[in-house]
Amino acid sequence: MQSITKDHSIQTVITTFEMSPGTCQDLLDALTDAYEKFISKQPGFVAASLHVNDAQTRIANYSQWKRREDFQAMLRSDEMRKRNRKINELCRSFEPVMYDVAETFS
């Protein structure tokens, strides 16, 4: 279960992707496939979600990991490097950034 809390034992990663409306669904499909078949099965994975803006020009990916090293190991794997080459072809840019949750509101 994904939850957003100030629990600093969880590493939060927010990745933003910029693309055209014409490649949005293809990129969403590639990301969904990556999560279903590979990323979600990696050590330290907690949860993730994909968000698409209404213009279909941006996808935001929110993921949680037990440790920063778990996320980094997944990124450096041969499988994810191969997938990221394909993802890179479908978007103008993407950037994963690690964050600590500073505050939450309900």
Q: What is the pLDDT of residue 34?
A: 98
**What is the rounded end-to-end Cα distance, in angstroms, of the chain?**
17
Question: Is 16 part of a structural domain of the chain?
Answer: yes
pLDDT above 70 as % of the chain = 95
Q: How many CA atoms lie within 13 A of 80 on its CB side?
A: 15
Domain boundaries, position 34: 11-99
Average pLDDT over the chain reads: 94
Q: What is the mean pLDDT of residues 60-64?
A: 96
* CATH code, domain with 30: 3.30.70.100
Question: Is 35 part of a structural domain of the chain?
Answer: yes
Q: Is 21 helix (H, G, I), strand (E, B) or coil?
A: helix
Range in 5-14, 54-63, 68-77, 96-105 with the lowest mean pLDDT: 5-14
Count of structural domains within the chain = 1
Cα 100 from Cα 48, distance rounded (Å): 15
Question: Is 1 part of a structural domain of the chain?
Answer: no
User: Quick check: 1 pLDDT over 70?
Assistant: no
Q: What is the pLDDT of residue 46?
A: 95
Question: Is 38 part of a structural domain of the chain?
Answer: yes
Walk across the sheet containing 45-52 and list its strands: 45-52, 58-65, 11-18, 93-99
Question: Is 33 part of a structural domain of the chain?
Answer: yes
User: Quick check: 86 pLDDT over 90?
Assistant: yes
Cα 34 from Cα 54, distance rounded (Å): 23
Question: Is 6 part of a structural domain of the chain?
Answer: no
pLDDT digits (tens, 9 = 90+) for 20-60: 999 999 999 999 999 999 999 999 999 999 999 999 999 99
Question: Is 44 part of a structural domain of the chain?
Answer: yes
